Structure 1
Amino acid sequence: MAQRHLAELNVGRLVADTDDPCVAEFMGALDRVNGIARRMPGFVWMMEGSGTPGTGNTGTKLEGDPRYVSNLTVWESAEALSHFVWNTVHRRFYDRRQEWFEVLGERHLVMWWVPAGHRPDLGEALERLAQRRAEGDSPAAFGWSYLRVRADG
């Protein structure tokens, strides 16, 4: 077992309320995409929402805004997360994100290393995101390009 795992937070603001037909395709795919993630080699943990089918973590409102949603996961490695993001059905939904999410105009993703067994809470994850937004990529809060540079360098 690895001594550290990779935590990841992704936030976004939906273009409409979760029950609006504009986001129905996205909402309808949450259980399937999250289920694939849970079955992937290297998956460790995912922040759970209400458990209501088709809602994912959309019940976890950021800043009190029901359209501002998050996804928080932990993976054994960057490679495991990368494989899920870019080589599964997740990629098809990622490529269409502009149909369902507003452009935030600021960083919406952060990753950081955690001790194996640690389950970050949303507060910790949002602090890491704020750090990345304020300071850019660092060993404490980074995005994909930082991982690629570090892996190559």
Structure 2
Amino acid sequence: MQRSYHLAQVNLAKALAPLDSPPMQGFVEQLDHVNQLAEASAGFVWRLQTDAGDATALQPDEDERIIVNLSVWDSLEALKTFVYSGEHLGLLRNKKHWFERPDAPILALWWASARPRRGQADPGAPAGPEPRARRRRPSASPRRSRHRSSVRPFPRRRPERLPRRPIDNHLITAKESPCN
């Protein structure tokens, strides 16, 4: 069964030192392997990365110690299984050796429409020319715009509950990212 939604997650961390410094060596040495584990995990859909496969090269902030992780999963269960089991759990248990303790929320989750990214074919679509992009009319009043927000908060009490109507958004690729 193909799902209508995917679960997107973004989390931030502030390293104790620059990534190329000795205190961060243990973390950096494990990155490629952990990313490969994620990509091979059941339910993994996509992750933000450069053409070289590295998300740590993206700088979302002036502080080079801020690291961003953005990924998409087919369900909350798939994300939880990856994060809280296996080798990733070992990294999580050692995060105090590499990262500052956060004083604000560092994680956001949201349901995103499960449709192909730009440039990818929809396996269920008939062959033919690529559909034209729809253009939205600018709204005279932002408060009354029905396209005001494309993301709704993740429900805290029942995170498995999906939104009632599609969320209009697309996945950001490394080339489109404001982090570059």
Shorter-chain TM-score tier:
0.7 to 0.9
**C-alpha separation between the residues in 1 aligned to 2:84 and 2:51?**
27
Partner of 2:3: 2
| Aligned 8 A contact 2:8 2:112 in 1 | yes
Secondary structure of the residue aligned to 1:22 is: helix
**C-alpha separation between the residues in 2 aligned to 1:71 and 1:151?**
20
Match of 2:76 among 68, 75, 78: 78
Partner of 2:49: 48
Deviations 1:36-73 (A, max 9, x none): 00001100000013516xxx311111222211011100
Q: Measured at CA, do residues 14 and 151 of structure 1 come closer, stay the same or move farther in structure 2, by a change above 3 Å?
A: closer
Partner of 1:89: 87
Structure with greater Cα Rg: 2
Partner of 1:125: none
Amino acid at match of 1:141: P
Amino acid at match of 1:140: R
Work out whether 1:58 is the aligned partner of 2:56: yes
Residue-pair matches, total: 127
Secondary structure of the residue aligned to 1:106 is: coil
**C-alpha separation between the residues in 1 aligned to 2:90 and 2:47?**
20
Unaligned runs of 5+ in 1: 120-138
Please give the residue correspondences for 1:1-150 in structure 2 after superposition, counting only pairs within 5 Å: 1-49=2-50, 51=52, 56-117=54-115, 140-142=152-154, 146=156, 149-150=157-158
Unaligned runs of 5+ in 2: 118-150, 162-180
- The percent identity for this pair of structures is 32
Partner of 1:136: none
| Aligned 8 A contact 2:111 2:154 in 1 | no
Superposition TM-score, scaled by structure 1 size: 0.76
Shift of residue 117, structure 1, vs aligned partner:
2.6
Amino acid at match of 2:15: L
Structure number with the higher helix fraction is 1
Secondary structure of the residue aligned to 2:6 is: strand
Amino acid at match of 1:40: S
Superposition TM-score, scaled by structure 2 size: 0.65
Q: Measured at CA, do residues 108 and 152 of structure 1 come closer, stay the same or move farther in structure 2, by a change above 3 Å?
A: closer
| Aligned 8 A contact 1:13 1:102 in 2 | yes
TM superposition outliers: structure 1 runs of 4+ over 4 Å: none
Shift of residue 17, structure 1, vs aligned partner:
0.5
Shift of residue 116, structure 1, vs aligned partner:
0.2
| Aligned 8 A contact 2:76 2:160 in 1 | no
Secondary structure of the residue aligned to 1:51 is: coil
In angstroms, what is the RMSD of aligned CA positions? 2.1
